[in-house]
């Protein structure tokens, strides 16, 4: 297993995604099996994720927004409140999946839906995951954790 981080403070969402992804695959010496993506709110999330999906179309991604920038083992990365980062895991023996659901009127059901999508992606039906990462709307933490 290899784990690496990368980041960009380029204010252009597409360029930031490209810079961070290229740095990530260089550090990993290959394509990751999952990418955790976090970016400050000023980024165009759609453009950023669209570009990452172009660069890594079959790699599951999970993430969220952050305030002002991101932190890696090399420190805090921000420029005028703009920064995005990637954490990539290269693990040929692992099985990774991501799921998302609109929190709607029933956050617990949304959590179960997202979990099912993620578990189905792994191709390992019936196995208990070693790790579950969750990003959710603030205020719903306890309701989201309960079904996990």
CATH number of the CATH domain containing 19? 3.30.1330.20
Domain membership of residue 86 (yes or no) is yes
Region of residue 142 (phi > 0: left; psi between -120 and 50: alpha; otherwise: beta): alpha
> Could you tell me if residue 19 is inside a domain?
yes
* Cβ–Cβ < 8 Å for 86, 21: yes
Both tokens assigned to 133: 């990462």
pLDDT score at 18? 98
Q: Is residue 28 part of a domain?
A: yes
Please report which confidence band the pLDDT of residue 148 belongs to, taking 50, 70 and 90 as the band edges: confident
Specify the pTM. 0.89
Count of domains forming the chain:
2
pLDDT 10s digits, 19-75:
999 999 999 999 999 999 999 999 999 999 999 999 999 999 999 998 899 999 999
Please check whether residue 28 is in contact with residue 22, taking contact to mean a CB–CB distance below 8 angstroms: no
The size of the chain, in residues, is 148
Q: What is the pLDDT of residue 135?
A: 86
pLDDT at residue 113 tops 90 = yes
Mean pLDDT across the stretch 104-112? Answer: 92
Residue 101 lies in a domain: no
Structural domain span for residue 61: 2-90
Across the beta sheet with 2-8, the strand order is: 2-8, 84-90, 34-40, 61-66
Q: How confident is the model over 88-113, as a mean pLDDT?
A: 93
């Amino acid at each position: 297993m290899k784990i690496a981080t990368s980041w960009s403070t380029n204010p252009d969402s597409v360029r930031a995604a490209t810079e961070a992804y290229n740095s990530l695959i260089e550090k990993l010496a290959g394509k990751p099996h999952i990418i955790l993506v976090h970016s400050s709110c000023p980024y165009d999330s759609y453009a950023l994720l669209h570009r990452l999906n172009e660069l890594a179309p079959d790699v599951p991604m999970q993430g969220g927004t952050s305030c002002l920038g991101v932190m890696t083992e090399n420190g805090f990365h921000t420029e005028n409140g703009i920064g995005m980062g990637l954490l990539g895991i290269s693990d040929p023996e692992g099985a990774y999946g991501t799921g998302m659901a609109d929190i709607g009127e029933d956050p617990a059901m949304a959590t179960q839906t997202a979990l099912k999508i993620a578990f189905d992606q792994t191709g390992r039906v019936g196995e208990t995951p070693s790790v579950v990462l969750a990003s959710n709307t603030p205020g719903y933490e306890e309701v989201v954790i309960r079904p996990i």
